[in-house]
Amino acid sequence: MSKFYLNVCLPPTALGELRAALDAVMAPFDINLPDDEWNPNGEWDWWYIDAGDEDGFAVRPEFDGDPRLIHEPTCPAGRPRARRPLRCDGGPRGLLDFEATKARAVDEARARWQAEQQDFARLVADHPAAEPLSAFLERHRANAERYPREQAVADHHAQPLVCALNHRSAWERYPNLGLWVLGPDSDPISHFTRDLQPDLERAASWALASTALLTLDGQWIEEDRPGPFTNVLPGEEPSAAYARQTTAYLDGLREDCIVVRLLCHC
């Protein structure tokens, strides 16, 4: 069982009776059918209007406070939720500032990367230099019999810089690096020396996309069930295709269509 976010798209008429409209479009995906039977199309056992306190939709400044914006006043446990300026759980597409939502996500990704880079520079200063996993695998490919892959991985992980990332003290001293659980494909050196741009592009593509999308015509779309409008480009990961094209779907909605984000549990 886990929680996830769902973007629901509704016609303009839904705004007057939002709860009833949501009940109607969500009903086919209720895990429990009448008489407690199991629904093969079930996706949730409870849901709540909630776009997240940090990840809510940005509002166009000229519409801040507009009564058509959707703000759920309480948390699922009943605690009050503060109403944040220029943030909401949904509303008519034309009142939501999708570009500002994307820009905020990009800024946050850049800030995370910068904090990570600062900690990694401190880590590098405290330990001998290390090579990425690719350098060891290149030696393995040059002489696979004398230098098996398992040994290449072990030698990569044995470097003091990599060992440090696999110890809890790294979390305490370099909190922006996290604690690495090293596996046969783990390469923290390449991770921390990566280019920033793909991170920014990923943040922009996922700023609007959530775990799932419920379209205007009632289709439940997920990464592993992409729906008819999803087209994976050559070399593109399915998750990237899902984020890109669900974002395009939301961008292309009429301005009076309703977009609302739900916190769901399954």
Q: Of 195, 219, 240, which residue is a domain's last?
A: 195
Number of domains in the chain: 2
Residue 258's domain comprises: 3-104+198-265
pLDDT at 226 (0 to 100): 67
Are residues 222 and 184 located together in one domain of the fold? no
Same domain, yes or no, for 160 and 209?
no
pLDDT at 35: 63
The string of DSSP letters for the chain reads --EEEEEEEE-GGGGGGHHHHHHHHHGGGBSB-GGGPBPTT--BSEEEE---TTTPEEB-GGGTT-TTSB---B-TTS-B----TTEESEEEGGGB-HHHHHHHHHHHHHHHHHHHHHHHHHHHHHS-----HHHHHHHHHHSTTTS-HHHHHHHHHHSHHHHHHTSHHHHHH-TTT------TT--HHHHHT--SHHHHHHHHHHTT--SEEE-TT--EEETTB--TT--PPTT--HHHHHHHHHHHHHHTS-TTSEEEEEEEE-
Res 36: pLDDT: 62
pLDDT score at 34: 66
**What's this model's pTM, rounded to 2 decimal places?**
0.85
What are the per-10-residue average pLDDT scores of the chain (266 residues)? 92 94 95 74 92 86 95 84 89 97 96 96 94 97 96 96 88 88 93 95 93 94 77 85 92 96 94
**Judgement on whether residues 13 and 72 belong to the same structural domain of the protein:** yes
pLDDT at 167: 83
Q: Are residues 130 and 168 in the same domain?
A: yes
